[in-house]
């Protein structure tokens, strides 16, 4: 190993040792090969790449990397969005592997290994394979969001939960939506106006634990779930990447027309999302998070929404809100359109369960690392003791656990959409036995692993947050129809559920 590392350093000029990340490839992807979209520094907060800055392993994660590539035009020939939203194809596996190897200073990286790492995301539900299509995978954006915004999630548990309709959208007092103040406190660094390159950036040396986490500008797709774009960018034609922005994912929240591009229709004024998702200044957007979230709730209750728009946000008032939405590409999330926006109509898009994440763009904070979030939280327990091999064999996996916490996503998706996928990963998961144990053990009912399904009805306390305790409110029953998309999803879930039942 050592030798290898050396080799790495020598050959790749990487300094991968110690806490430093590999500078090596910084120029590869971090610097502006794609000037228009990329601004070094904006893309990912530096700290995101520095392990020392954050707890746990925090180097760039593969999926972040994939998104990076996906975002750059120059890599279109290597990897590109294709198919459904969130779906991408690795056109040149070897090259992607090579790039990844460079980034991670793993000269011996190859597609086989990379794909293993990708598979590793299956359990986490961050990705899943599109069956039948070679080198084709699909992001589960909602998951991504959760992973990246655990804090957000927690703070505004209602938000995601609502979207997932896990909690029925009813915000209980406990989970009151985040108020602007709260947000501020959570993210002190929130820029007041304008926008910083990052919402939450950690100052160089002082990372506040709280400080890191959210960057709304980084995630284009977040809204994910809802298909804002029906097609991948590539299919969209020359999608206009907003030229003037350097937002990381090519998505600029502030861009007034962010949505206009094509697929993302602007939201109707009254749409639930309008204010939140396209909030004006970032700041306001954040501050509005509360409503947004709350507004996700039952349509009937417009109060929240109103509040948001009216009072809250001035920003939007007149103008057009800058949107935090998605970019033209796949990643870009889909928010709106469908689902929320119109009530039920629309949606012709195929929706999958990813709806949830209605989040806003954000940054990649690196996943589960913060420890706060859903994921992070409970992980501790599980991870505490290393499992002995034998234990592992029993099916007690760590991963799954983590997922379960996060699991808000859809399974439907996971099972590879339309492809007839007979199994939900469960089946295959090694030893059913083990898995099932997990399920039962997990937050009662929610089924950690396959949450969606079984948990559909159960209001469930968002187990994801279970560890958070207080934060997570008791879910109320969900209103059957939070949004059209949900409905769709439900359908999926039900189906899945049925399957489960059978098994």
Least CB distance to DNA at residue 436 (A): 13
The alpha carbons of the chain give a radius of gyration, in whole angstroms, of: 21
- Rounded Cα distance, 156 and 471, in Å: 9
Decide if residue 369 touches DNA (CB under 7 A): yes
Widest Cα–Cα separation across the chain: 64
Find the shortest distance in angstroms from Cβ 398 to DNA.
6
Instruction: Among 85, 135, 277, 278, indicate the residue that binds DNA (CB under 7 A).
Output: 135
Residues numbered 174-203 forming contacts with DNA, rule: CB under 7 A: none
Distance between first and last Cα of the chain: 45
Closer to DNA by Cβ: residue 136 or 275: 136
Query: Which one among 7, 52, 77, 119 touches DNA, defined by CB under 7 A?
Result: 119
Structure tokens at 216: 């709304």
**Contact status: 331 vs DNA (CB under 7 A):** no
Q: How far is the CB of 339 from DNA (least distance, A)?
A: 28
Single out the residue of 77, 116, 310, 348 in contact with DNA (rule: CB under 7 A). Answer: 116
Question: For DNA, which stretch binds (CB under 7 A), given 75-83, 132-140, 156-164, 259-267?
Answer: 132-140
| Closer of 383 and 480 to DNA (Cβ) | 383
Taking CB under 7 A as the rule, does residue 374 contact DNA? Answer: no
Q: What is the DSSP string of 294-348?
A: HHHS-TT-HHHHHIIIIII-HHHHHSPPP-----SSTTS---SIIIIITTTS---
- Residue selected from 43, 48, 325, 368 as contacting DNA according to rule CB under 7 A: 368
Q: Which residues of 293-307 are buried (b: 16+ CB within 10 A; e: fewer)?
A: bbbbbbbeebebbeb
Per-residue binding letters, 409-428, with DNA (x by CB under 7 A): ----------------x--x
Tokens of 64: 């972040």
Which spans in 344-450 are helix H? 374-384, 389-394, 398-406, 411-414, 425-428, 432-441
Stretch that binds DNA, among 155-163, 387-395, 471-479, 486-494 (CB under 7 A): 387-395
Q: Is 116 exposed, middle or buried (0-12, 13-18, 19+ CB in 10 A)?
A: exposed
- Closest by alpha carbon to 448, among 428, 462, 430? 462
Quick one: 46 or 95, whose CB is closer to DNA? 95
6 is a site residue for DNA (CB under 7 A): no
- Residue 441: partners with Cβ closer than 8 Å, 6 or more residues away: 448
Structure tokens at 27: 């120029």
Sheet holding 127-129, edge to edge: 79-81, 87-90, 136-139, 127-129
State residue 21 phi and psi, 5-degree precision.
-95, 175
For position 98 contacting DNA by CB under 7 A, the verdict is no
Judged by CB under 7 A, the residue of 243, 319, 348, 383 near DNA is 383
Q: Is 16 in the site for DNA (CB under 7 A)?
A: yes
Q: Is 7 in the site for DNA (CB under 7 A)?
A: no
Could you tell me the smallest distance in angstroms from the CB atom of residue 135 to DNA? 5
* Cβ 143 to DNA shortest distance, Å: 12
213 binds DNA (CB under 7 A): no
Which stretches of the chain bind DNA, using CB under 7 A? Answer: 1-2, 4-5, 16, 56-57, 61-63, 93, 100, 104, 106, 108-109, 111-117, 119-122, 124, 129, 131, 133-136, 367-369, 375-376, 379-380, 382-383, 389, 392-393, 397-398, 402, 425, 428-431
């Amino acid at each position: 190993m050592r030798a290898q590392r050396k080799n790495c350093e020598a050959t790749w000029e990487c300094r991968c040792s110690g806490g430093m990340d590999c500078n090596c490839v910084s120029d590869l992807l971090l610097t502006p090969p794609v000037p228009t979209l990329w601004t070094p520094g904006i893309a990912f907060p530096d700290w995101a790449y520095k392990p020392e800055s954050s707890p746990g392993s925090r180097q760039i994660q593969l999926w972040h990397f994939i998104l990076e590539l996906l975002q750059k035009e120059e890599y279109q020939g290597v990897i590109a969005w294709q198919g459904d939203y969130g779906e991408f194809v690795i056109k040149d596996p070897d090259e992607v592997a090579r790039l990844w190897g460079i980034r991670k200073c793993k000269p011996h990286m190859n597609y086989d290994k990379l794909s293993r790492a990708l598979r590793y995301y299956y359990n986490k539900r961050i990705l899943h394979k599109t069956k039948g299509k070679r080198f084709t995978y699909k992001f589960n954006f909602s998951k991504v969001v959760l992973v990246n915004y655990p804090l957000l999630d927690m703070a505004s548990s209602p938000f995601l939960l609502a979207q997932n309709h896990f909690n029925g959208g009813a915000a209980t007092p406990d989970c009151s939506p985040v108020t602007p103040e709260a947000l501020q406190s959570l993210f002190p660094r929130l820029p007041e106006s304008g926008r910083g390159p990052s919402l939450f950036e950690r100052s160089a040396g002082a990372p506040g634990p709280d400080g890191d986490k959210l960057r709304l500008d980084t995630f284009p797709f977040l809204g994910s779930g809802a298909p804002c774009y029906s097609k991948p960018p590539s299919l969209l034609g020359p999608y206009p990447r907003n030229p003037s922005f350097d937002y990381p994912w090519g998505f600029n929240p502030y861009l007034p027309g962010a949505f206009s591009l094509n697929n993302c229709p602007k939201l109707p004024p009254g749409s639930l999302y309008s204010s939140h998702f396209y909030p004006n200044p970032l700041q306001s957007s954040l501050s509005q998070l509360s409503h947004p979230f709350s507004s996700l709730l039952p349509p009937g209750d417009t109060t929240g929404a109103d509040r948001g728009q009216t009072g809250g946000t001035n920003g939007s008032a007149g103008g057009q809100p800058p949107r935090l939405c998605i970019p033209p590409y796949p990643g870009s999330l889909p928010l709106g359109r469908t689902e929320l926006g119109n009530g039920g109509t629309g949606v012709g898009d195929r929706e999958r369960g990813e709806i949830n994440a209605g989040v806003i763009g954000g940054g990649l904070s690196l996943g589960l690392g913060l420890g706060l979030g859903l994921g992070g939280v409970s992980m501790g327990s599980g991870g505490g003791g290393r499992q002995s091999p034998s234990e592992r064999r029993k099916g007690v996996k760590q991963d799954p656990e983590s997922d379960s916490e996060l699991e808000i996503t859809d399974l439907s998706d996971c099972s590879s959409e339309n492809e007839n996928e007979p199994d939900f990963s469960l089946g295959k998961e090694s030893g059913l036995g083990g898995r099932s144990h997990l399920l039962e053990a997990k937050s009662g009912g929610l089924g950690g692993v396959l949450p969606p399904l079984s948990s559909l009805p159960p209001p469930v306390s968002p187990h994801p947050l279970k560890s958070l305790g207080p934060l997570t409110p008791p879910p109320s029953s969900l209103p059957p129809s939070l949004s059209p998309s949900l409905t769709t999803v439900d359908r999926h879930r039900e189906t899945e559920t049925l399957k489960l039942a059978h098994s």
